[in-house]
Chain A
C-alpha cells in the first residue's frame, strides 16, 4: 500500500519534469511544416551569431575555470595546511555569492568599475571581458571551493607537504605536482559545473553588454519561434553532459586511504 503511494508520487513528479523536456524537443523538430526535421537545428548551428556567441562563452568558461583553479586550489590548500583558523571566514565568503543575487553583484560592478572610477574596466571591451570573467568566477566560487575542499579533505595534506619538502620541493612544485594531481577529480567536478554555469549565464553578460551565449538565446527567443527550442535542447544537453562527466569523474576518484579509528 505504501509502495503504491510512493510509485504514484514519483511518477507524477517525473511527469512534471518530462513534459517540458518532451515539449521543447518536439517543438524544436517542427520547423518544417507538416513533418519532423532538424531544420531548426540547422538554422541555429549555421547562424554566424550562434557560432560567435557560443565560442565567446566557451572561451570565457575556459578562462574562468583556469582562474578559478589558480585561485581556489592554492587558497584551499593553504587554509588546510597553515591557517585552519581562517576556515570559517573563507567558507562564509564562499557562500556569499549564493546569498547575494547575481544582478546585485553586476550592478555593483557597473557602479564601481565604470569609466569615472579608479579602475575603469568597463571602458574597453577587453576590460569588460575581464570584469565579466571575474563575475563568472564569483558565481562559480561556492561550487568550486566546496569541490576542492572536499577533495583536499580526503588526502593528508600535511604529510604530503612535509614529505615533498623533505625531498627539496618548493611551493610551486608541491602544488603543481603533488597536490593538484591528487585533487584532480574534485577540480574536474568544479570545472564542469563552472562550465555549465558560464554557458547558461544571462544576467551579468546582458547587463555588461557582452556577446555571450545567454543574451543571444534571449534575443532569439524574442524574435523567433522554433530556433529557441532547438537552443534549449542544445543547452540542456550541454548541462546533462557536464553533470554526466562529473558523475563519471567522481566514480574514478581514488578512495580515501582507510584511517585507523
Chain B
C-alpha cells in the first residue's frame, strides 16, 4: 500500500526529499519576488542611487525641503488624528457591546457592518462625505437651515485636515472595532470579580488590571491605524483633487508627471513612506505578540 511505503521510508529519504519539497513553493516564491519584493527593493535601492547608478544619500537629503517636509508632516498629523479618534470611538463602541450589558444580538451585526465599512474606502467614500458634509451636503444644509449653524463660517472645510480626518474615521473606527473586540472578549469576567472581592472599585480595576492588560492591543492597533491612514491615497485624491499636499498625493503626482523635477526624489519619497509604515506595523506586530504571550 502506498501509504505504508510513505510511513516506513521517511527517515531514509528525508535528506533527498527536502530540496524537492521546497520546490513546491516555487510558483509562490516567483510571484512574491517578481511582484512584491523586487518592486519594493527597486524603490528602496533607487532611493539611494543617482541617475548614473552610483550610491548617494542625496535623494534622501533632498527630501528636506519645506514643501516635502510639510507634506510628510500633514500626513503624519492626519494619520495620528484619525488613529487617535478611531481608537477612542472604536473602543467606546466595542466596549459598549462587549462589556456594556447590551443585548447579545447586537454584536454580530456590528462586526459584520465593521467588516463592510472598513473596506468602504477610496473614491466612493469621498463622494459619500461630499454629499453629507460638503458645501451642499445633507448635514451642512440641515445645520444651516434648521439650527442656524453655518459650517463654512466656522471655518470647516471638507477639503482640509479635519475634513480628511473625519472621512478617514469611516474605515478607521470599524478596523478598531474588529481588532479590539476579541481583545475585550479576552478580559475574563473572573478578573473583574477577583478585583472586586479584593476591595477594588470599578475605576481601580480598570486602572490596575484591565487597561494594563489591554495596553499592548490598544497601542498596537493605534500603530496599525496610523499606518493605514498614512498609506491611503485614493480617498484623499477623490476628496481634495490633489490640492491637499499630503505625502501619498505628492508621490502620486510625482509618479504621474515628475512634478518635482527629479525622478529619484520620487524613490526617496516612496522610501520615506515605507520606513514610516514599516515602523508603525512593526510596532503593531511586536506588541500583539507580547500581549498574546501574557494572555495564555
Contact = CB atoms under 8 A, between A and B. Distances in A.
Question: Do A and B have CB atoms closer than 8 angstroms in the complex?
Answer: yes
A246 B119 CA distance: 13
B128 A21 contact: yes
B117 A17 contact: yes
9 contacts: A95-B285, A99-B278, A104-B273, A107-B251, A107-B270, A134-B31, A134-B35, A201-B234, A207-B255
A9 B93 contact: yes
Nearest to B106: A10
A196 interface: yes
B69 interface: no
A165 B22 contact: no
A162 B132 CA distance: 59
Contacts of A96: 36-37, 40
A108 B25 contact: no
Interface stretch (B58-66, B94-102, B184-192): B94-102
B163 interface: no
A9 B138 contact: no
Interface of A: 2-3, 5-7, 9-10, 13, 16-17, 19-24, 26-28, 71-72, 74-75, 78-79, 82-83, 86, 90, 93, 95-112, 134-135, 137-138, 141, 162-163, 165-166, 168, 193, 196-197, 200-203, 206-207, 214, 217-218, 221-222, 228-229, 231-232, 235-236, 239-240, 243-244, 246-247
B201 interface: no
Using C-beta atoms within 8 Å of the partner chain, give the interface range for chain B. Answer: 35 or more
Given A75-B25, A218-B237, 20 more contacts: A6-B100, A10-B102, A13-B173, A71-B31, A75-B24, A75-B27, A83-B21, A101-B232, A103-B273, A104-B231, A105-B40, A111-B43, A111-B267, A112-B42, A168-B2, A200-B123, A203-B233, A207-B256, A232-B127, A235-B123
B244 interface: no
Contacts, number: 262
Question: Which of A20, A82, A134 neighbours the largest number of chain B CB atoms within 10 Å of its CB?
Answer: A20
Question: Which of A75, A97, A103 neighbours the largest number of chain B CB atoms within 10 Å of its CB?
Answer: A103
Given A17-B117, A165-B3, A23 B38 contact: no
Question: Which of B24, B27, B131 neighbours the largest number of chain A CB atoms within 10 Å of its CB?
Answer: B131
